[in-house]
C-alpha cells in the first residue's frame, strides 16, 4: 500500500470495526497484512491479545522490548506464556547494555533523564524491529490515560510509518479482567499486588488506593508515556 491507500484503509476500517470485537479486528489485520506483529509487555491487555492471537493464528510474530530491567515476575510471566502456548516471543534488546549506558550517560540514567533512558531502551529498539513489518498490534485502551483517550481501533502510525491496530481501545479494565478470568489466561502476578500498569522495575511502583491506575509509572515526575505511543 502507498500512503494514500493506507490512509483510506485506516479511515474505513476504524469506522467499520469500532463496534466489532477485538477478534474480528485481529482477523482483519492478519488477512490484510502478512507482515504483522504484536508488541507485548506482558501486562494484562497484552496477555489477552496473546491468547486471542494464538486461537486465531498462532504464527503471528510477537515481540517484547527487553530493557534488561523488567521485574522478575515479568520475565517469569513470559516464560509461563511461552511454555503454555508453545510460542517463542522475539526478544528485542537495546543497542547499549546497562553498563555501556552507565559509562556513556552516567549511572541510573532513569533518575537523571528518564526520557533519554526510555529512548535508548525502548523507543530506538522498537523503531528497529518495526522496520520489518507493515502493521503492528498494541494493547492500549482509551481509558488508560488522557494521552490515549482519542486512540482509534485502526490508525496510521506516523511516528513509525505503518498501520497500528488497537483492538482493545474501547475496552475497560473490567472487560480485560473478565476475559482473563473467563479464559483462564496467564497474567503477571504483580497485578495482584497493586501494579495495574507494569513497566521497568526502577520506574514502576505500587499504586495506592484512590490513585490513578498509571500513577505508579514514573512517579513524582511529569512523565506519563515512554514514547512508544506518542
- CA pair distance 54, 60, nearest whole angstrom: 8
Q: Give me the DSSP letters along the chain.
A: --HHHHHHHHHHHHHHTTTS-HHHHHHHHHHH-SSEEEE--SSHHHHHHHHHHHHH-TTSEEEEE--S-B-HHHHHHHHHHHHHHT-PPEEE--SS-HHHHHHHH-S-HHHH-HHHHHIIIIIHHHHHHHTT-SEEE----GGG-GGGTT--SEEEETTTTEEEE-TTTT--HHHHHHHHHHHT----GGGGGT-SS--BGGGB-PPPTTS-TTTTBSTTSS----SS--
Please state whether beta strands 154-157 and 162-165 pair in parallel, antiparallel, or not at all (unpaired). Answer: antiparallel
Q: Which residue out of 40, 200, 203, 226 is catalytically annotated? A: 226
Q: For residue 118, indicate whether it is catalytic.
A: no
- CA pair distance 20, 103, nearest whole angstrom: 50
- CA pair distance 118, 230, nearest whole angstrom: 12
Catalytic residues: 226
Amino acid at each position: 500500500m502507498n500512503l494514500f491507500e493506507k490512509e483510506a484503509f485506516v479511515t474505513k476500517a476504524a469506522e467499520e470495526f469500532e463496534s466489532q470485537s477485538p477478534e474480528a479486528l485481529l482477523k482483519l489485520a492478519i488477512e490484510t497484512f502478512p507482515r504483522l506483529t504484536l508488541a507485548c509487555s506482558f501486562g494484562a491487555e497484552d496477555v489477552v491479545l496473546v491468547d486471542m492471537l494464538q486461537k486465531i493464528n498462532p504464527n503471528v510474530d510477537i515481540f517484547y522490548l527487553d530493557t534488561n530491567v523488567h521485574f522478575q515476575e515479568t520475565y517469569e510471566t513470559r516464560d509461563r506464556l511461552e511454555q503454555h502456548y508453545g510460542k517463542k516471543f522475539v526478544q528485542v534488546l537495546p543497542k547499549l547494555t546497562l553498563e555501556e549506558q552507565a559509562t556513556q550517560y552516567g549511572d541510573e540514567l532513569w533518575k537523571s533523564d528518564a526520557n533519554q533512558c526510555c529512548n535508548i531502551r525502548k523507543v530506538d529498539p522498537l523503531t528497529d524491529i518495526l522496520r520489518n513489518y507493515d502493521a503492528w498490534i498494541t494493547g492500549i485502551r482509551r481509558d488508560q490515560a488522557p494521552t490515549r483517550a482519542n486512540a482509534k481501533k485502526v490508525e496510521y502510525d506516523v511516528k513509525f510509518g505503518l498501520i497500528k491496530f488497537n483492538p482493545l481501545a474501547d475496552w475497560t479494565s473490567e472487560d480485560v479482567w473478565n476475559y482473563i478470568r473467563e479464559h483462564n489466561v496467564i497474567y503477571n502476578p504483580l497485578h495482584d499486588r497493586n501494579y495495574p500498569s507494569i513497566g521497568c522495575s526502577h520506574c514502576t511502583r505500587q499504586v495506592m488506593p484512590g490513585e490513578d491506575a498509571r500513577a505508579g509509572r514514573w512517579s513524582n515526575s511529569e512523565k506519563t508515556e515512554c514514547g512508544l505511543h506518542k
